Structure 1
Amino acid sequence: MTKEKPDSHDSNPESILLQTTEFNISSENTGTRIDQFLTSQQTEVSRSQLKKWIEQEYITVNELPVSPSYKLRLEDRVLIHTPEVAHSPLQPEDIALNILYEDSEIVVVNKPAGMVVHPAVGHSSGTLVNALLHRCKDLTGIGGVERPGIVHRLDKDTSGVIVVAKNELALNHLAAQFKDRTIKKTYLALAKGRFKEYEGYINTTIGRHKRNRKKMVADEAGGRPSETSWQVIHQYDRFAYVRLFPRTGRTHQIRVHLSSINHPILGDDLYGGKALTHTEKFLRCALHARRLELKHPTTGKQMRFEAPLAPDIQDFLNRHNQGTPLPNSRE
């Protein structure tokens, strides 16, 4: 895959082309529909949006237009000319938020599963940033135009606590804490299988998967160091309720780490956490950001924020209440 110089596109005067991305098709992907293939290679753009780009000829094969159902052939050259509306301002949206804490410097939110943190290609509205722009009138431009106030992220399907800066001073202070790894993060997850130990430590590199650009992979050559400690709270018959302490903050880190020890998160289809049985399935990645501990950016006071366990995870646990408590059972 290669990236070329930005270009322009006369058929859509409201858009600019940020970059051209190229895929050269190997035997492994021959016979696959082009829209399915491109969906599997990244996380930012939905399949429906890719179909639109194919129909608008932003995506070509061997420099020729194709249909979304086109089946790839060996050595096909797929080009994606990524369009984005030029200088499109972020729009405030009146979306209800579960606020855990707020003052003049920061706002701490219990993000629901299914909400994207900031607008991106394929997700231009309905995000946490859109909601915060409506609530915090002075947020615009803090830390950049595209991600105002954002100092860390949660995946779309991850629920739980996230902190947002309300001014540049707070943003810089929080960013430094994340960089220095002084912020303590605690997550809760439902992981497949029976654990042989009730606690452990994972220390690997994490890098982009060579073939599936949508995935990350542990122990990847050239990957970035990553560390996660874990404890089993309850062991059930076919899954465990687990507490996790990530020291670093790599993309998909907890999901990759649990999968690497053969205990993928329930509902995480990307990393092997599919249904327990044919009739029992968790409908999203069962990962929850439970706790965040940090120093207030102006007072220096140590603060601790907690998000109650998401209802869908709590309901799942309630249906399996015969689990075995382990030494870490106090949540």
Structure 2
Amino acid sequence: MTKIPFVGHLHPLFGISKPLQFLSMAAQVDLNTIETRIENDPKSLNNYPVPLSPPAPHMSKNIELNRALTASSKSALFSLSKEDILFQDQWLIAVNKPQGIYCESVLSAAHGLLNNEQGEQVNFPELHLSNRLDRDTSGVTIITKSHKVAAKLVKAFTEHTVKKTYIAFCVGTIPKWQNINVKSGHGRSKHGAWRVYSVSDVGRTLPGGSYVRDMETSFEVMSINGQGYLKDSSELEKHEEKFIVVEEKSDISFDDEKAEVVVRAYPRSGRTHQIRLHCQYLGIPLRGDVKYEGVYEWKGVIYEGHELHAESLSFEHPITGQQVLIQAPFPSWARQVPGQLSS
């Protein structure tokens, strides 16, 4: 596939910036800040709540377009093998979705996989995705084999009775905590992007008729700069768990020296881009997550997607009632962390 070239210049935070334009420096600064100014202009707010996380950097639009085109090409050729199966019975099949593949292509590939098992061409009209992962998020994806099972499992996800863990590779400010719980609002801003809102805004109406919903995630530091977390480290606060109830913009500076931080995330709700948004708020955006201020280039390497992995799902089987735990093997970027991600 021929990629659309990206023409840009170096940027101190992200590695590259938005495409070069024949504009004065003042005009370029104006373009970068216009969305923020509009959102903070009382005349334009129309009594809508103001998001607390910043809009996506302008340079992210071209990068995301290139990634989408590449993923479309890869997804069209994607197929599943037996090695991709994490769990299967007569009602469910769980697979390990790779990075850069759309979930709809995983569903299509499941048809081919099941046909190979049957040894003949069989129609599977009731296959259904129970959970959807972002294009660049890898890990556990569950497909149900009947509408009845799908309805029960979707209900479990909606009611948050499915327990989930994720592994995220972040680059940002060194956390002063080992465990933290973040509660905030979540919703689409005036310009359609997912953003963090204050807890006190939960329930308020947003542009387009949606409303701010609650969002909660717990995080655990697994390693910092490749070293496992030590409880007696002078760099970290000696608390069992820190709690943040978001009511104002994050005061964490991105100008500080950056570190590689691997965290395990436990989402208590199931909002779109939840972990990515909360990592951004905590000052540790995912490596490669340009939409939410993550580095695009790091230590001379350009990252073609964010590094987030759906590690495990735990739930009551919708038919047998037994407890099921499904775990996906770590991707290569997580296996590079010495011995700290096995717990």
Same fold (TM over 0.5): yes
Task: Please point out which of 63, 67, 89 is paired with 1:103.
Answer: 89
Indicate yes or no: 2:112 matched with 1:112. Answer: no
Partner of 1:270: 291
Task: Please point out which of 292, 295, 317 is paired with 2:316.
Answer: 295
Task: Please point out which of 284, 298, 305 is paired with 1:284.
Answer: 305
Farther-moved stretch of structure 1 (239-248 vs 219-228):
219-228
Partner of 1:163: 142
Distance 1:240 1:45 in 2: 27
Partner of 2:182: 202
* Alpha-carbon offset, residue 282 of structure 1: 3.7
Distance 2:190 2:273 in 1: 16
Is the CA contact (8 Å cut-off) linking 1:188 and 1:241 kept in structure 2? yes
Partner of 2:114: 136
* Superposed CA offset, 1:284-308 (max 9, x none): 2110000110111211000101101
Task: Please point out which of 194, 212, 215 is paired with 1:216.
Answer: 194
Partner of 1:225: 214
Q: Which has the higher contact order (CA 8 A, sep 6+)?
A: 2
The 3 A distance-change label for structure 1 pair 298 and 93 is farther
**SS of match in other structure, 1:109:** strand
Amino acid at match of 1:205: G
* Superposed CA offset, 1:165-216 (max 9, x none): 11112111111211221110000011222111111011111111323x3x31
Residues 59-70 of structure 1 correspond to what in structure 2 (within 5 A)?
none
The 3 A distance-change label for structure 1 pair 47 and 100 is closer
More helix per residue: 2
Q: How much is the aligned-residue C-alpha RMSD, in angstroms?
A: 3.5
| Unmatched tracts of structure 1, length 5 or more | 1-26, 30-36, 50-91, 119-126, 143-147
**SS of match in other structure, 1:153:** coil
The 3 A distance-change label for structure 1 pair 93 and 131 is farther
Distance 1:199 1:174 in 2: 30
Amino acid at match of 1:201: N
* Alpha-carbon offset, residue 136 of structure 1: 3.3
Give the percent of matched residue pairs that are identical in Structure 1 and Structure 2.
28
Amino acid at match of 1:198: Q
TM-score with structure 1 setting the length: 0.62
Distance 1:129 1:44 in 2: 23
Distance 1:196 1:104 in 2: 47
Distance 1:206 1:289 in 2: 20
Q: How many residues align?
A: 235
TM-score with structure 2 setting the length: 0.60
Distance 2:217 2:335 in 1: 23
**SS of match in other structure, 2:223:** strand
Amino acid at match of 1:95: S
